[in-house]
Structures are given as structure tokens and as C-alpha cells.
Amino acid sequence: MTTSQLVSTLLIVLPIAFNLAFAALAKIFDYPDILRRPTREILARFRAGGSSLVLLWWGFALTAVLFAPLAVLLAFRLDGADPALLAAGATAGVLAAIVQFLGLIRWPFLVPYLARADAEPDASDARRAAIDVAFQSFNRYLGVAVGEHLGFLLTGLWSILSGVALLQSHAVHPVIGIAGIVIGAVLTVCSLEFVGPFEPHGWRLAAVLTPFTYIAWSLWLAVTGVALLL
């Protein structure tokens, strides 16, 4: 398989894998709406999912890992674009993969422990309160700050830089490059909903914008992959 074919394959397969895992989590675990519920309810639902839910979260986290080689290989594929722009895009893509992986990997490793500890029959109220603080703290730090805020911000930046590089390289129709810039800008705006004075309203606004934006982003990746093959 050539580098061009590998890039196109990743561009097509990655969004499919991401959306399949996300849809499965929505069906099995009521994700992400479940995160609005109290900690004890979330952990009880997690325990009910068993080992298959843990493996699903692990697989979902690995889709973020695959984004790193995609970002690097795409930079090598776009001949004719500014080398500095390609380097910046590859860096943003690798960083996006890292922060999204860090945001997701707590589910197959940290949350199972908290769920088991919460279910212990002799657990005191103080212990359950500590479990609640630990879960919510990691949720705000790794989930919201690292995974969502930095994940959206860096993915949006990568999409913008890749869109510009696609325009410079003339590898695909200009509309595809423009679409990447627009979608990346929206993802960047979504990331700001979790910051400072916007944060109290971030969940509601992001809940409206993010699903449609990620669907558009997934379609953009797949269309770019097909276009590069042709």
C-alpha cells in the first residue's frame, strides 16, 4: 500500500470507526447524556455494562490514537503546500490525538475502579463522597478541559491548517479545502464554550453545535479520502 492509499484509507476508516463507537456508547450507556446524571447513577450504569462496555471505551480511545498517524501522513501527501504549514498541521493533529486519548482513556482504566469501590456494601458515606469528588474532578479535568476543550480546539486548528494545505496543493477540488477551513472554525468556536464565563452555558450550546459539526467533520474526512484516491 502506498502512502497515498494509506492516507485515504485512514481518512475513510477513522470517521466510520469513531462514529460507530460513539453510536454504540449512546445506545448502551446513554452517552453523553448520562454525564448529566448523579455520579452514583453513572457508576451503576457503568457496572451494568460489564466488560463489554469497558472494551468499547478502550476501542473508542484508540480511534483518537489513529488520528496521530493520519495527521502526519497527510502532511507528506500534500505536495505543493507550504512546508511550514504542513509541519504546523501535523503538530496540531498529533496534539489533538494525544489530548483526546487522555480525555477518553480514564473510562477503561480509572472509572472501573471507582465503579467497583462505589458498589462495596461496607463503603461509608465519606468514602462515597470521595468517589464522587474523584469522578467529577477527573470528568472536569480530563473530560471537559483536556478532551473536549483542547480536543475541539486542536482538531479545529488541524482542520483549518489542512484545509489551507489542500487549497495550496491542488490535490483535491478547492471546495473540499474550504469546507475543512469552515468546519475547523466551527470546532474551534465549540471549544470556547467550556472556558471561563461561557462555561455555565457550554453544555447546552455545545450539545446543539457539536453533534452536527462532528458529523460534517466526519463526512469531510471521508470525502477528502475518496478525492485523494481519485
- Summarised one tens digit per residue, pLDDT across range 205-230 is 656 777 889 899 999 999 999 999 98
What number of CA atoms fall less than 13 Å from residue 13's CA on the CB side? 12
For residue 187, the enclosing domain spans 3-229
Q: What is the pLDDT of residue 121?
A: 92
pLDDT for position 197? 45
Summarize pLDDT for 115-138 with one digit per residue, the tens: 999 999 999 999 999 999 999 999
CA 95 – CA 222 distance, rounded (Å): 21
Q: What is the pTM of this model?
A: 0.92
Residue 22 has pLDDT above 70, yes or no: yes
What value does the mean pLDDT take over residues 50-64?
96
pLDDT surpasses 60 at 156: yes
Count of domains observed in the chain: 1
The Cα–Cα gap between 50 and 85 comes to 45
Write the pLDDT tens digit of every residue in 165-211: 999 999 999 999 999 999 999 999 888 765 544 455 545 665 677 78
Q: What is residue 203's predicted lDDT score, i.e. its pLDDT?
A: 52
What whole-number distance in Å separates Cα of residue 32 and Cα of residue 157? 24
- Which three three-digit cell numbers place residue 195? 472556558
Report how far residue 5's alpha carbon sits from residue 8's, in angstroms, rounded to the nearest whole number: 5
C-alpha 94/C-alpha 33 separation (Å) is 28
**What does DSSP assign to residue 143?**
I
Q: Across all residues in the chain, what is the average pLDDT?
A: 92
**Residue of 75, 65, 134 lying closest to 100 (CA atoms):** 65
- pLDDT, average across residues 97-123: 96
Here the cell at position 80 is 505543493
Distance CA 30, CA 186 (A): 25
| Residue-wise pLDDT tens digits, 58-84 | 999 999 999 999 999 999 999 899 999
